[in-house]
Amino acid sequence: MKRKITSKMFDLKLFVSVSKEFLKALLRGHTYNIRENGYVIFGILWGIPVPIVTIGMALYCSGLSPSAETVVNEIVKHPVHLFFLLHPFIFGTVFGAMGTVRDDKERQKEKFEKSLIQNNKMLADANKKLQELDGLKDNFLSMVSHELKTPLTTIQGYITFLKDGKAGDLSEGQWRALKITEEQADYLNNLIGELVDLSRIESGEFSVKLEPTDLTRIAAKVINSLARPFAEKSIITENSLPEKLPLVLADPKRMSQVFTNLLENAVKFTPPGGKITVSACEKEEKVEFCISDTGIGIPGEEIGKIFDRFYQIDSMVERKYGGCGLGLTIIKNIIELHKEGRIWVESEPGRGSRFFFELGKSGELKGKELEKEIGYQTKERSKV
Ligand code: ADP
Protein backbone atom coordinates (compact mmCIF):
# COMPACT_ATOMS: atom_id res chain seq x y z
CA MET A 1 0.00 0.00 0.00
CA LYS A 2 1.26 3.48 -0.89
CA ARG A 3 1.81 5.68 2.16
CA LYS A 4 0.65 9.21 1.83
CA ILE A 5 3.21 11.76 2.93
CA THR A 6 1.43 14.17 5.20
CA SER A 7 2.59 17.68 6.01
CA LYS A 8 3.39 16.52 9.54
CA MET A 9 5.88 13.93 8.31
CA PHE A 10 7.67 16.10 5.79
CA ASP A 11 6.95 19.69 4.91
CA LEU A 12 8.63 20.29 1.56
CA LYS A 13 7.88 24.01 1.58
CA LEU A 14 9.42 24.45 5.03
CA PHE A 15 12.44 22.39 3.98
CA VAL A 16 12.99 24.55 0.88
CA SER A 17 12.64 27.83 2.79
CA VAL A 18 14.99 26.67 5.59
CA SER A 19 17.54 25.50 2.99
CA LYS A 20 17.34 28.85 1.22
CA GLU A 21 17.90 30.73 4.47
CA PHE A 22 20.87 28.50 5.28
CA LEU A 23 22.48 28.94 1.85
CA LYS A 24 22.01 32.70 2.01
CA ALA A 25 23.61 32.73 5.47
CA LEU A 26 26.67 30.89 4.03
CA LEU A 27 27.32 33.91 1.82
CA ARG A 28 27.27 36.36 4.73
CA GLY A 29 30.44 37.57 6.52
CA HIS A 30 28.67 37.29 9.87
CA THR A 31 28.67 33.47 9.51
CA TYR A 32 32.49 33.41 9.72
CA ASN A 33 32.96 36.26 12.19
CA ILE A 34 34.25 34.67 15.40
CA ARG A 35 33.98 37.95 17.33
CA GLU A 36 30.37 38.71 16.45
CA ASN A 37 29.02 35.20 16.08
CA GLY A 38 29.61 32.96 19.12
CA TYR A 39 28.11 30.01 17.25
CA VAL A 40 31.29 29.73 15.11
CA ILE A 41 33.45 28.99 18.18
CA PHE A 42 30.82 26.60 19.43
CA GLY A 43 30.92 24.72 16.08
CA ILE A 44 34.75 24.63 16.01
CA LEU A 45 34.81 23.23 19.54
CA TRP A 46 32.32 20.54 18.50
CA GLY A 47 34.46 19.69 15.44
CA ILE A 48 37.87 19.46 17.17
CA PRO A 49 37.26 16.03 18.79
CA VAL A 50 36.48 14.46 15.36
CA PRO A 51 40.08 14.39 13.91
CA ILE A 52 41.52 13.72 17.38
CA VAL A 53 39.33 10.65 17.83
CA THR A 54 39.73 9.32 14.26
CA ILE A 55 43.52 9.78 14.08
CA GLY A 56 43.90 8.63 17.71
CA MET A 57 41.93 5.45 16.98
CA ALA A 58 43.95 4.78 13.80
CA LEU A 59 47.23 5.14 15.76
CA TYR A 60 45.91 2.98 18.58
CA CYS A 61 44.84 0.22 16.16
CA SER A 62 48.31 0.30 14.51
CA GLY A 63 49.95 0.09 17.98
CA LEU A 64 51.67 3.47 17.51
CA SER A 65 52.02 6.08 20.20
CA PRO A 66 50.80 9.57 19.32
CA SER A 67 53.52 12.03 18.28
CA ALA A 68 53.84 14.72 15.62
CA GLU A 69 55.69 12.29 13.37
CA THR A 70 53.26 9.36 13.73
CA VAL A 71 50.31 11.72 13.20
CA VAL A 72 51.80 13.21 10.01
CA ASN A 73 52.72 9.72 8.75
CA GLU A 74 49.18 8.49 9.42
CA ILE A 75 47.68 11.44 7.50
CA VAL A 76 50.01 10.87 4.56
CA LYS A 77 49.19 7.14 4.59
CA HIS A 78 45.43 7.71 4.82
CA PRO A 79 44.49 11.07 3.20
CA VAL A 80 40.89 10.52 4.35
CA HIS A 81 42.08 12.00 7.67
CA LEU A 82 42.33 15.36 5.89
CA PHE A 83 38.53 15.28 5.63
CA PHE A 84 38.27 14.66 9.39
CA LEU A 85 40.81 17.42 9.99
CA LEU A 86 38.50 19.81 8.18
CA HIS A 87 35.62 18.99 10.58
CA PRO A 88 36.26 21.87 13.03
CA PHE A 89 35.96 24.29 10.06
CA ILE A 90 32.88 22.50 8.64
CA PHE A 91 31.17 22.48 12.05
CA GLY A 92 32.23 26.10 12.60
CA THR A 93 30.66 27.08 9.26
CA VAL A 94 27.40 25.15 9.81
CA PHE A 95 26.98 26.47 13.35
CA GLY A 96 28.00 29.96 12.20
CA ALA A 97 25.28 29.90 9.51
CA MET A 98 22.76 28.76 12.12
CA GLY A 99 23.87 31.66 14.33
CA THR A 100 23.38 34.10 11.43
CA VAL A 101 19.86 32.78 10.77
CA ARG A 102 19.06 32.97 14.48
CA ASP A 103 20.40 36.55 14.76
CA ASP A 104 18.30 37.57 11.74
CA LYS A 105 15.20 36.04 13.33
CA GLU A 106 15.89 37.79 16.64
CA ARG A 107 16.32 41.09 14.85
CA GLN A 108 13.09 40.55 12.90
CA LYS A 109 11.30 39.65 16.14
CA GLU A 110 12.60 42.78 17.86
CA LYS A 111 11.54 44.92 14.90
CA PHE A 112 8.11 43.29 14.88
CA GLU A 113 7.71 43.76 18.66
CA LYS A 114 8.72 47.41 18.36
CA SER A 115 6.21 48.05 15.57
CA LEU A 116 3.55 46.16 17.55
CA ILE A 117 4.16 48.35 20.60
CA GLN A 118 4.08 51.44 18.39
CA ASN A 119 0.85 50.34 16.68
CA ASN A 120 -0.71 49.53 20.05
CA LYS A 121 0.14 52.98 21.28
CA MET A 122 -1.30 54.54 18.14
CA LEU A 123 -4.47 52.48 18.56
CA ALA A 124 -4.79 53.46 22.21
CA ASP A 125 -4.34 57.15 21.27
CA ALA A 126 -6.93 56.85 18.47
CA ASN A 127 -9.31 55.09 20.85
CA LYS A 128 -8.91 57.83 23.45
CA LYS A 129 -9.56 60.46 20.81
CA LEU A 130 -12.64 58.55 19.60
CA GLN A 131 -13.97 58.34 23.15
CA GLU A 132 -13.48 62.08 23.58
CA LEU A 133 -15.25 62.73 20.27
CA ASP A 134 -18.00 60.33 21.27
CA GLY A 135 -18.49 62.23 24.53
CA LEU A 136 -18.56 65.51 22.60
CA LYS A 137 -21.12 64.06 20.18
CA ASP A 138 -23.29 62.84 23.10
CA ASN A 139 -23.16 66.29 24.69
CA PHE A 140 -23.87 67.92 21.35
CA LEU A 141 -26.83 65.60 20.69
CA SER A 142 -28.28 66.23 24.12
CA MET A 143 -27.67 70.00 23.93
CA VAL A 144 -29.10 70.39 20.41
CA SER A 145 -32.22 68.33 21.11
CA HIS A 146 -32.96 70.32 24.28
CA GLU A 147 -32.22 73.65 22.60
CA LEU A 148 -34.59 72.76 19.73
CA LYS A 149 -37.30 71.65 22.10
CA THR A 150 -37.54 74.99 23.95
CA PRO A 151 -38.52 77.24 21.01
CA LEU A 152 -40.74 74.50 19.61
CA THR A 153 -42.73 74.34 22.85
CA THR A 154 -43.26 78.10 22.54
CA ILE A 155 -44.39 77.72 18.89
CA GLN A 156 -46.82 74.95 19.87
CA GLY A 157 -48.08 77.13 22.75
CA TYR A 158 -48.84 79.99 20.34
CA ILE A 159 -50.57 77.60 17.91
CA THR A 160 -52.92 76.52 20.73
CA PHE A 161 -53.31 80.19 21.71
CA LEU A 162 -54.41 81.07 18.15
CA LYS A 163 -56.60 77.97 17.81
CA ASP A 164 -58.41 78.84 21.04
CA GLY A 165 -59.28 82.20 19.48
CA LYS A 166 -57.41 84.11 22.16
CA ALA A 167 -55.97 86.43 19.50
CA GLY A 168 -59.34 86.97 17.86
CA ASP A 169 -61.35 85.04 15.28
CA LEU A 170 -59.44 83.41 12.42
CA SER A 171 -60.43 83.45 8.76
CA GLU A 172 -60.70 80.14 6.84
CA GLY A 173 -57.35 80.78 5.17
CA GLN A 174 -55.71 81.51 8.53
CA TRP A 175 -57.16 78.26 9.93
CA ARG A 176 -55.71 76.26 7.04
CA ALA A 177 -52.31 77.90 7.49
CA LEU A 178 -52.46 77.27 11.24
CA LYS A 179 -53.35 73.61 10.68
CA ILE A 180 -50.35 73.06 8.40
CA THR A 181 -48.11 74.87 10.92
CA GLU A 182 -49.46 72.61 13.67
CA GLU A 183 -48.81 69.43 11.64
CA GLN A 184 -45.25 70.50 10.86
CA ALA A 185 -44.65 71.49 14.48
CA ASP A 186 -45.90 68.03 15.58
CA TYR A 187 -43.60 66.37 13.05
CA LEU A 188 -40.64 68.39 14.37
CA ASN A 189 -41.68 67.57 17.91
CA ASN A 190 -41.56 63.83 17.09
CA LEU A 191 -38.12 64.12 15.50
CA ILE A 192 -36.76 66.06 18.48
CA GLY A 193 -38.37 63.49 20.81
CA GLU A 194 -36.48 60.74 18.97
CA LEU A 195 -33.20 62.67 19.26
CA VAL A 196 -33.77 63.18 22.99
CA ASP A 197 -34.46 59.43 23.39
CA LEU A 198 -31.34 58.55 21.42
CA SER A 199 -29.17 60.84 23.52
CA ARG A 200 -30.63 59.22 26.67
CA ILE A 201 -29.99 55.72 25.32
CA GLU A 202 -26.39 56.62 24.51
CA SER A 203 -25.73 58.25 27.87
CA GLY A 204 -27.32 55.35 29.76
CA GLU A 205 -30.16 57.45 31.12
CA PHE A 206 -32.92 55.76 29.16
CA SER A 207 -35.42 54.05 31.42
CA VAL A 208 -38.87 52.47 31.53
CA LYS A 209 -41.25 52.35 34.48
CA LEU A 210 -42.74 48.90 34.64
CA GLU A 211 -46.20 48.13 35.97
CA PRO A 212 -48.97 45.62 35.19
CA THR A 213 -50.38 47.00 31.94
CA ASP A 214 -53.31 46.26 29.66
CA LEU A 215 -51.75 46.55 26.21
CA THR A 216 -55.05 45.83 24.43
CA ARG A 217 -56.41 49.13 25.70
CA ILE A 218 -53.24 51.02 24.76
CA ALA A 219 -53.18 49.51 21.24
CA ALA A 220 -56.86 50.39 20.68
CA LYS A 221 -56.18 53.97 21.80
CA VAL A 222 -53.25 54.32 19.40
CA ILE A 223 -55.26 52.82 16.51
CA ASN A 224 -58.02 55.39 17.16
CA SER A 225 -55.53 58.25 17.36
CA LEU A 226 -54.20 57.32 13.91
CA ALA A 227 -57.66 57.14 12.29
CA ARG A 228 -56.90 60.19 10.13
CA PRO A 229 -53.69 58.94 8.44
CA PHE A 230 -55.41 55.55 7.91
CA ALA A 231 -58.38 57.26 6.27
CA GLU A 232 -56.20 59.59 4.18
CA LYS A 233 -54.58 56.55 2.51
CA SER A 234 -57.81 54.48 2.50
CA ILE A 235 -56.04 51.85 4.56
CA ILE A 236 -58.20 49.27 6.29
CA THR A 237 -57.24 48.70 9.92
CA GLU A 238 -58.15 45.49 11.60
CA ASN A 239 -57.96 45.29 15.36
CA SER A 240 -57.75 41.53 15.91
CA LEU A 241 -56.65 41.78 19.53
CA PRO A 242 -58.45 39.23 21.73
CA GLU A 243 -60.87 40.82 24.18
CA LYS A 244 -59.20 39.27 27.15
CA LEU A 245 -55.43 39.28 27.21
CA PRO A 246 -53.35 38.87 30.36
CA LEU A 247 -51.70 42.01 31.73
CA VAL A 248 -48.03 42.40 30.87
CA LEU A 249 -45.28 44.04 32.88
CA ALA A 250 -44.70 47.19 30.85
CA ASP A 251 -44.31 50.95 30.73
CA PRO A 252 -47.70 52.18 29.40
CA LYS A 253 -46.32 55.45 27.98
CA ARG A 254 -43.40 53.79 26.25
CA MET A 255 -45.61 50.99 24.90
CA SER A 256 -47.90 53.60 23.42
CA GLN A 257 -44.77 54.97 21.69
CA VAL A 258 -43.99 51.45 20.39
CA PHE A 259 -47.47 50.93 18.92
CA THR A 260 -47.49 54.46 17.45
CA ASN A 261 -44.14 53.96 15.77
CA LEU A 262 -44.95 50.53 14.34
CA LEU A 263 -48.37 51.66 13.11
CA GLU A 264 -47.02 54.92 11.65
CA ASN A 265 -44.36 52.92 9.79
CA ALA A 266 -47.03 50.49 8.58
CA VAL A 267 -49.07 53.41 7.19
CA LYS A 268 -45.99 55.03 5.70
CA PHE A 269 -44.83 51.91 3.87
CA THR A 270 -48.25 50.60 2.76
CA PRO A 271 -49.69 51.87 -0.52
CA PRO A 272 -53.25 53.32 -0.52
CA GLY A 273 -55.96 50.69 -0.20
CA GLY A 274 -53.75 48.31 1.83
CA LYS A 275 -54.49 46.68 5.13
CA ILE A 276 -52.93 46.85 8.58
CA THR A 277 -53.73 44.27 11.25
CA VAL A 278 -52.93 44.35 14.96
CA SER A 279 -53.13 40.98 16.67
CA ALA A 280 -51.83 39.21 19.74
CA CYS A 281 -51.60 35.73 21.20
CA GLU A 282 -50.91 34.34 24.61
CA LYS A 283 -47.83 32.20 25.07
CA GLU A 284 -46.72 30.29 28.14
CA GLU A 285 -45.23 33.15 30.17
CA LYS A 286 -45.43 35.90 27.59
CA VAL A 287 -47.83 37.71 25.32
CA GLU A 288 -46.85 38.17 21.67
CA PHE A 289 -48.11 41.12 19.64
CA CYS A 290 -48.00 41.47 15.87
CA ILE A 291 -48.47 44.50 13.62
CA SER A 292 -48.73 43.36 10.03
CA ASP A 293 -49.17 45.32 6.83
CA THR A 294 -49.60 44.65 3.14
CA GLY A 295 -46.97 47.23 2.24
CA ILE A 296 -43.73 47.31 0.27
CA GLY A 297 -41.97 44.79 2.54
CA ILE A 298 -38.29 44.57 3.42
CA PRO A 299 -35.58 42.75 1.39
CA GLY A 300 -33.96 39.84 3.27
CA GLU A 301 -30.51 41.46 3.37
CA GLU A 302 -31.95 44.60 5.05
CA ILE A 303 -33.90 42.85 7.80
CA GLY A 304 -30.89 42.65 10.13
CA LYS A 305 -30.10 46.35 9.71
CA ILE A 306 -33.41 48.18 10.11
CA PHE A 307 -33.07 48.32 13.91
CA ASP A 308 -29.69 50.11 13.59
CA ARG A 309 -29.74 53.80 14.36
CA PHE A 310 -30.30 56.17 11.42
CA TYR A 311 -30.74 53.16 9.10
CA GLN A 312 -33.23 53.56 6.30
CA ILE A 313 -33.56 51.20 3.37
CA ASP A 314 -34.27 54.10 1.07
CA SER A 315 -31.68 56.62 2.24
CA MET A 316 -31.38 58.63 -0.98
CA VAL A 317 -31.64 62.40 -0.68
CA GLU A 318 -34.81 62.41 -2.78
CA ARG A 319 -36.27 59.47 -0.89
CA LYS A 320 -39.98 58.83 -1.00
CA TYR A 321 -40.58 58.34 2.72
CA GLY A 322 -39.86 60.75 5.57
CA GLY A 323 -38.32 60.00 8.97
CA CYS A 324 -34.74 59.80 10.17
CA GLY A 325 -34.29 56.09 10.88
CA LEU A 326 -34.43 56.28 14.67
CA GLY A 327 -37.92 54.95 15.46
CA LEU A 328 -37.08 51.22 15.35
CA THR A 329 -33.81 51.74 17.26
CA ILE A 330 -35.69 53.42 20.07
CA ILE A 331 -38.52 50.91 20.26
CA LYS A 332 -36.04 48.02 20.23
CA ASN A 333 -34.38 49.63 23.25
CA ILE A 334 -37.74 50.13 24.92
CA ILE A 335 -38.80 46.52 24.37
CA GLU A 336 -35.44 45.15 25.50
CA LEU A 337 -35.61 47.15 28.73
CA HIS A 338 -38.70 45.12 29.59
CA LYS A 339 -38.27 41.79 31.31
CA GLU A 340 -37.55 39.22 28.58
CA GLY A 341 -38.72 41.70 25.93
CA ARG A 342 -37.91 40.83 22.34
CA ILE A 343 -38.74 42.38 18.95
CA TRP A 344 -38.29 40.95 15.47
CA VAL A 345 -39.60 41.24 11.96
CA GLU A 346 -40.65 38.89 9.17
CA SER A 347 -41.01 40.32 5.71
CA GLU A 348 -40.68 39.85 1.99
CA PRO A 349 -40.45 42.58 -0.64
CA GLY A 350 -43.88 43.28 -2.11
CA ARG A 351 -45.62 41.00 0.38
CA GLY A 352 -45.85 43.21 3.46
CA SER A 353 -44.14 43.09 6.85
CA ARG A 354 -44.99 41.57 10.22
CA PHE A 355 -43.39 43.20 13.25
CA PHE A 356 -43.59 41.02 16.36
CA PHE A 357 -42.75 41.80 19.97
CA GLU A 358 -43.25 39.85 23.13
CA LEU A 359 -43.34 40.86 26.78
CA GLY A 360 -43.55 38.90 30.03
CA LYS A 361 -46.98 38.52 31.68
CA SER A 362 -47.28 40.30 34.99
CA GLY A 363 -49.92 37.86 36.29
CA GLU A 364 -47.26 35.17 36.80
CA LEU A 365 -45.51 37.35 39.36
CA LYS A 366 -47.05 37.70 42.78
CA GLY A 367 -46.28 39.62 46.00
CA LYS A 368 -42.60 40.27 46.59
CA GLU A 369 -41.58 39.03 43.15
CA LEU A 370 -43.91 41.53 41.47
CA GLU A 371 -42.73 44.33 43.78
CA LYS A 372 -39.16 43.57 42.75
CA GLU A 373 -39.95 43.85 39.03
CA ILE A 374 -42.12 46.96 39.24
CA GLY A 375 -40.25 50.27 38.95
CA TYR A 376 -37.53 51.71 36.79
CA GLN A 377 -35.33 49.70 34.49
CA THR A 378 -32.42 51.72 33.17
CA LYS A 379 -30.31 50.94 30.18
CA GLU A 380 -26.59 50.79 30.73
CA ARG A 381 -24.63 53.31 28.70
CA SER A 382 -24.64 51.74 25.26
CA LYS A 383 -23.96 52.36 21.64
CA VAL A 384 -27.03 51.37 19.67
P1 ADP B 1 -37.98 55.86 9.80
O2 ADP B 1 -39.33 55.21 9.57
O3 ADP B 1 -38.09 57.14 10.55
O4 ADP B 1 -37.17 55.95 8.57
P5 ADP B 1 -37.51 53.56 11.46
O6 ADP B 1 -36.38 53.26 12.39
O7 ADP B 1 -38.87 53.57 12.04
O8 ADP B 1 -37.17 54.94 10.79
O9 ADP B 1 -37.45 52.51 10.28
C10 ADP B 1 -36.20 52.24 9.66
C11 ADP B 1 -36.42 51.71 8.26
O12 ADP B 1 -37.02 50.40 8.32
C13 ADP B 1 -37.38 52.54 7.42
O14 ADP B 1 -36.73 53.66 6.85
C15 ADP B 1 -37.82 51.52 6.39
O16 ADP B 1 -36.85 51.42 5.39
C17 ADP B 1 -37.85 50.20 7.19
N18 ADP B 1 -39.23 49.91 7.68
C19 ADP B 1 -39.74 50.11 8.92
N20 ADP B 1 -41.01 49.68 9.01
C21 ADP B 1 -41.34 49.19 7.80
C22 ADP B 1 -42.53 48.59 7.23
N23 ADP B 1 -43.62 48.41 7.95
N24 ADP B 1 -42.50 48.21 5.94
C25 ADP B 1 -41.35 48.36 5.19
N26 ADP B 1 -40.22 48.91 5.65
C27 ADP B 1 -40.19 49.33 6.93
Higher-pLDDT residue of 2 and 234 is 234
Q: For residues 13 and 25, what is the distance between their CA atoms, to the nearest angstrom?
A: 18
| Residue 314: predicted pLDDT | 72
The answer on pLDDT for 380 being more than 70 is no
User: Is the per-residue pLDDT at 379 higher than 80?
Assistant: no
Residues 238-278 pLDDT 10s = 999 998 899 999 999 999 999 999 999 999 999 999 999 99
Each residue's pLDDT tens digit, 160-190: 999 999 988 989 999 999 999 999 999 899 8
State yes or no: pLDDT of 289 exceeds 80.
yes
Nearest CA to ligand 1 atom 16: 313
The band of 52, judged by pLDDT with boundaries at 50, 70 and 90, is very high
pLDDT value at 378 more than 80:
no
At residue 249, the pLDDT reads 92
List, in order, residues 6 or more apart from 202 with CB less than 8 Å away: 138, 141, 381, 382, 383, 384
| Confidence at residue 4, expressed as pLDDT on a 0 to 100 scale | 56
pLDDT of 101 = 95
77-122 per-position pLDDT tens digit? 999 999 999 999 999 999 999 999 999 999 999 999 999 999 999 9
- With the CA atoms of 7, 8, 10 and 12 taken in that order, what torsion angle do they form, in degrees rounded to the nearest 10? 40
Ligand 1 centre and the CA of 325: distance in Å?
Answer: 7
- For residue 370, name the pLDDT band (cuts at 50, 70, 90): low
123 vs 134: which has the higher pLDDT: 123
**What one-character-per-residue DSSP string does 120-183 give?**
HHHHHHHHHHHHHHHHHHHHHHHHHHHHHHHHHHHHHHHHHHHHTTTT----HHHHHHHHHHHH
**What is the per-residue pLDDT for 368?**
60
Instruction: Give me the sheet containing 248-250, strands edge to edge.
Output: 248-250, 207-213, 375-378
Give the residue among 243, 259, 234, 235 at the shortest CA–CA distance from 359.
259
Predicted confidence band of residue 313 (pLDDT cuts 50, 70, 90): confident
Contact 279, 241 (CB under 8 A): yes
User: Looking at residues 354-365, what average pLDDT do you find?
Assistant: 87
What confidence score (pLDDT) does residue 10 get? Answer: 81
CA of 14 to the centre of ligand 1 (A): 56
What's this model's pTM, rounded to 2 decimal places? Answer: 0.67
313 C-alpha to center of ligand 1: Å?
7
Output the ligand 1 site: residues, CB below 6 A. 261, 265-266, 269, 293, 295-296, 298, 306, 311-314, 323-329, 353
Pocket test for ligand 1, best of 312, 320, 334, 384 (most atoms within 8 A of CB): 312
Q: What is the pLDDT of residue 220?
A: 95
Decide: 31 and 25 in contact? Cβ < 8 Å. Answer: yes
Using a pLDDT cut of 70, give the percent of the chain over it.
Answer: 91
Per-residue pLDDT tens digits for 19-39: 999 999 999 999 999 999 999
Q: Look at ligand 1, atom 8, and give the residue with the nearest C-alpha.
A: 325
Give pLDDT, residue 244.
Answer: 86
Specify the pLDDT at position 138: 80
Residue-level pLDDT at 143: 86
Average pLDDT over residues 52-73: 93
Q: Say how many Å lie between the CA of residue 292 and the centre of ligand 1.
A: 13
Q: What is the pLDDT of residues 145-159, one digit of tens each?
A: 888 888 999 999 999
pLDDT band at 310 (very low <50, low <70, confident <90, very high): confident
Atom of ligand 1 nearest to the CA of 311: 10
Which pLDDT belongs to residue 327? 94
Please state the rounded mean pLDDT for residues 192-213.
Answer: 88
- The confidence score (pLDDT) of residue 376 equals 66
- Beta-carbon contacts of residue 335 (< 8 Å; ≥ 6 apart): 258, 341, 342, 343, 357, 359
Would you state the pLDDT for residue 213? 94
